[in-house]
Structures are given as C-alpha cells and as structure tokens.
Homo-oligomer: A and B are copies of this chain.
Amino acid sequence: MTTYTAPVRDMLFAMNELAGLEDIYSLPGNEDVSADLVEAILDEAGKFAAEVLAPINASGDRQGNTWHDGEVSTADGFKQAYEVFCDTGWNGMPSSTEFGGQGLPVTVSTAVLEMWKSANMSFSLCQMLTLGAVEAIAHHGSDELKSTYLPNMVSGKWTGTMNLTEPQAGSDLAAVRSKAEPRGDGSYALSGTKIFITWGEHDMAENIIHLVLARLPDAPPGVKGISLFVAPKFLVNADGSLGARNDLVCASIEHKMGIHASPTAVMVFGEKEGAIGYLVGEPNRGLEYMFTMMNHARLNVGLEGVAIAERAYQAALGYARERVQGRIIGDRSGETKPILHHPDVRRMLMDMKARTEATRALAYYVAGCMDRARSDADENVRKDNQSRLELLTPVVKGWCTETAQSVTWNGIQVHGGMGFIEETGACQHMRDARITTIYEGTTAIQANDLIGRKVAREGGHAMAALIEEMSVTRAQLEAHADSQLQKIGASFGKGILALREATDWLLANYERNPQAAAAGAVPFLKLAGTVAGAWLMARSTAIAIERMQGPDAGFYGAKLVTARYFVEHVLPEANSLRDAIVNGAESVLALPEELF
C-alpha cells in the first residue's frame, strides 16, 4: 500500500516559474487570486488528497464495485469520501462562480486535479466526468437546462456522465445508432445501448445526469446527424425535487485491468417507453458540442498521466530509501546501504523523476495557455495562446499518458520481486495508468489530430511559432556563461532540429501520401512531446541556475540535474523518432495483410 504526499513545491515551480502563473493573476477575472491564496489552496487540497482519498485507493482496487439488479455499490469508504469532497467544495472548485464554483484559473485547478488523480484515480474520474457534463450544458444548454441541472452538478449532489461509445462506435462516433424520437412535448424518447460509461451508475449521489449522443429521426447519416441530450437517472420536477425513475438502466459493469473502483457501465436506454431526454443546443450539432468539452477532458487525461507517474515515483522512491540489498558497486565504505545507492536504481528513479517533471511542466504550461487564451486583454495574445493550446492539446493527452506507462513500469521494477505482488501497490499504478492512452481518444487518435488539423491543415504555422520560441531558449542557453547550460542548449538544439525536419517531412507528405504521414503520426506526437518537454526542462535550468544562490539552493540544484538527465537520456529519443517518421513509412505499409 503506498501513501501520497502532494508535491506542492514542484507544482508551484511548474505553475509560477514555468507556466507564468504570476502573470495570470493579473488577468481580468482573476483579481481575487494571489500567490498566497494559491499556495493555501494547494496545501489544503494536498491534505485532503493524502488523508481522505489516498487511503481508500488500494482497498478500492481490491474490492471494486458490485453490480446487483441495475444498482452499483461502490467500494468501502467511497461514499463517505465523496460526501466530504462535495461538502468541502472541492467538487465544484474548478467550475465558474455563476453556478457555485470558485472560478479559479485553469492553471490552479489543474494542480488541484493532479492531486485527486494521484491520490485516487478511480475516485477522481467521477468529478472529471461531472465537470465535463457541466461544461457541455453550460456552453450549449438552454437556460432551463442550466438552472435545472448545473447547481446540483457543480456542488456534486448530482454527478454527470458522457454516453458516447456504442459497441460498433468507438473511435468512430459517426457509427452511433442510438435514437431520439420527439415526444411532442419538447422532450425526446431515447433508446440504444452505450458502453464504457465511466461512473454510469453508482451509489454516491442521489441523481446521475447522463449526456447522451443519439440520432433524431430525420438526421443525416454520419457525424453530422448526431445530437446531444440530457437524460437524468431520476426525472427532475419543476420544483427541483426528484421525480420518476427514467427508463435507463445499468445492464452490467466491466471487469477491467485497472481503475477497479471506477464503475464502467453498460447503459441501456429505452427498454420500455424510451428514456426521457432533453436536447442540448441545436439538433445535429452534438458531436461539435462534445468536442468543445472533449478538448478539456483530453488535457485532464493527460494530467492523469502526470498524476499516476508522480504517485508511482513516490512509491518507488520510498521503497528504494528503505530496502537494503546487495553491495553497492564501487563503494568502499563497507556499509550496507539502501538500494537507492545502486546506480541502476538511481537511473530508474531519475528517469521517473525527469519524465514526470517534464510532463507536469507541459501540462501546466498548456493550462496557462488556456487561461491566457480565455482572459488576456490583448486579442493577439489570446489568439496566439489559443493556437498554442490547440496544437499542444493532443500532445499533452498523448505524450503525458504514454510517458506514464514507462514511469509506472519502472515503479514496479525498482521494487524487484515485491513489485509484482499486489499488496505492495506498485502494480495498481501500472494497471490504472494503462487506460490513459486509450480513453478520450487513443494515442493514434491524438496523433492524427496533431498531424492533420493541428499541423498540416494550417500549414504548420502553429508549430513554426513553437519551434521559433524554442530556438530563442536554445540561443539563450548557448550564450549563457555556465558551461553546463551551454551544453544543454546545444543538445536541445539537436532536438529542435529533429522536430523541424520531421515537421517539414510531414508538411511535404501529408496531402501527397496521407497513409505515409499517418504511419508516422504516433512517433511524431512522441517527438513533439519529447522536444516540448525538453524545452520546458531547458527553460527551467536558466531559472534554476539564477536561484541556486538563494535559500532554496538544494531544490534548484535538483532541477538542474533533473533537466540534464532529461536532455541526456530522454531527448536523444527525438533522433530515433525522426528517423522512424522520415524513413519508416514504407516498411509500415508494405506488408500485404494476409502476410501478417
């Protein structure tokens, strides 16, 4: 069983020093936010995560949920924890003040959400889905829908879900078949089967508000014929009280590799008279509405990668500090020492630490772009940040979750044989992490979005702007008085070059040979993530070296070593990724299917 301590100091570094939160405080709407307030929020959230959510993480994994006759019982302690979570106001914290949230900058709520995800990923998913549903209704729903549902969803009294996937419609939502028939009173009768519905049924809240994609009778085929509906588990009376049970039921829950305490439901709508649903916004625009919200959800899943990596790192480090085993090579002290002193254990821990910090830096940086894109007074700044946000959203989702795979894997390896024993807790982090590269769009879906919509179809301008900004950082480092920083700058320059060459190749080939471009899409996403991560790590060295003279010398010294590790061990992967993209498409595509 592993414990969790929120890495508040690291989070503040990523927020203030890398994502530029100090500027964000001064943006319109953030007048009430200050550095002291943010630190106080993080401290309180850290306590809640450590004391309430982390202790039920392993037990929730062991126990899972139980389904009986359409009802789902959550694991011991979840209901109680959820009640306190909502009572303390944590559930609604990221939402707008209009509906009872605290309206904090995204950068701040990002750090707080990371804590929930680290402490208890299964638990955190309930809030994540609810927040997504809140966003969809808030942006696209009628005033009546908003006033009926949002206050209780923001407070957490009611939770929300996203009903997108169907057995034949996974990555391809164009294949959605669920139906919505007008009932004549402005509402609709929904029918169909939805699968993989996270927190689709449970016993933590008195009502569950399902957002459902379905087709109207006259809808055109494909993605342009899908509408979005609200279908509550219990209908809501005019006075806000709960009415009749709606015709939708949880037919079963899945037996999964991880996130055992998060129920994944098969939902059946309209087995009798049809589930009563209410149209969100205009007909046939459901997918478009889903996507506004899905982009934020993708950033949050990327953040899950950061969070679970952090948790796995803490567990491995704790074990490595305590476990004594073997003579340390080249050590003449004759003392027995913890395994942290073995060079390869250090290598694994440095690798976990460096990759986790780089993914956090990127996720928080992009959260900062979202804040600026929303609130900056200067239209050009808003536009530039929106463009950067759009470019990097698939990278955060794809690269941070892919990175979490190797970090949680190493988390087990550091434990040796004990790592494979479930009671140790290291396995759970790896099993939980495994879903993150799949849901909310697989890495390939993110990568196709990146190479298509975000790079090739806009002529590569957003990427060129990013590369330009990276080159400024490189030049600053190469011109620095410190020789370590010069070296980091030079190595970073090779990474930039690899990204530039791969981008040029992509721009030249995307239209002409789309299959070849797609064959290199995932390597391109990883390349973009690796170089963007290296950029923020490189920037952190320039900050760290200034502040190493101050009171926090150890902290900043560690930042320098960690960034150096990243540049020396992780960044070289950029070259092999570039090679695979630029030279490798033919061998991906050459084999006739019968010869696989």
A interface residues, Cβ below 8 angstroms from B: 165, 168, 170-172, 174-175, 195-196, 254-258, 317, 321, 324-327, 329-330, 340-347, 349-350, 353, 405, 409, 412-413, 416-417, 419-423, 427, 430-431, 434-435, 437-439, 442-444, 447-448, 513-516, 518-519, 521-522, 554-555, 557-558, 561-562, 564-565, 568-569, 572-573, 575-576, 579-580, 583-584, 586-596
Question: Which residue of B has the minimal Cβ distance to A255?
Answer: B422
CA distance A319 to B321 in the complex (A): 44
A selection of 26 A-B contacts at a CB cut-off of 8 Å is A172-B327, A174-B327, A175-B325, A196-B417, A255-B421, A255-B423, A256-B420, A257-B420, A257-B422, A321-B593, A329-B514, A330-B518, A340-B593, A342-B444, A343-B588, A344-B448, A344-B518, A346-B591, A350-B591, A353-B596, A431-B431, A558-B591, A564-B586, A564-B590, A572-B576, A575-B576
* Known A257-B431, A417-B170: A343·B589 in contact at CB below 8 Å: yes
With a 10 A CB-CB cut-off, give which of A327, A583, A591, A595 has the most chain B CB atoms: A591
CA distance A427 to B444 in the complex (A): 19
Chain B nearest Cβ from A354, distance in angstroms? 9
Question: Which residue of B has the minimal Cβ distance to A222?
Answer: B327
CA distance A590 to B340 in the complex (A): 13
Chain B nearest Cβ from A419, distance in angstroms? 7
* Known A172-B327, A575-B575: A439·B422 in contact at CB below 8 Å: no
Taking a contact as CB atoms under 8 Å apart, the answer to whether B341 and A172 are in contact is no
Taking a contact as CB atoms under 8 Å apart, the answer to whether B587 and A515 are in contact is no
Chain B nearest Cβ from A596, distance in angstroms? 6
Assuming A196-B417, A431-B431, what are 10 further A-B pairs, CB within 8 angstroms? A256-B420, A257-B430, A257-B431, A342-B444, A409-B434, A420-B435, A420-B438, A427-B434, A561-B595, A568-B587
With a 10 A CB-CB cut-off, give which of A195, A325, A447, A516 has the most chain B CB atoms: A325
CA distance A573 to B572 in the complex (A): 9
Chain B nearest Cβ from A302, distance in angstroms? 17
Taking a contact as CB atoms under 8 Å apart, the answer to whether A347 and B588 are in contact is yes
Taking a contact as CB atoms under 8 Å apart, the answer to whether A572 and B565 are in contact is no
* Known A564-B587, A587-B350, A591-B562: A258·B420 in contact at CB below 8 Å: yes
Chain B nearest Cβ from A439, distance in angstroms? 7
CA distance A11 to B353 in the complex (A): 41
Taking a contact as CB atoms under 8 Å apart, the answer to whether B557 and A568 are in contact is no
CA distance A131 to B154 in the complex (A): 62
Top-3 shortest CB links A-B? A572-B576, A330-B514, A343-B518
CA distance A344 to B447 in the complex (A): 9
Q: Please tell me which one of the listed residues B168, B423, B557, B569 contacts residue A587 in the complex, with CB atoms under 8 A apart.
A: B569
Taking a contact as CB atoms under 8 Å apart, the answer to whether A568 and B591 are in contact is no
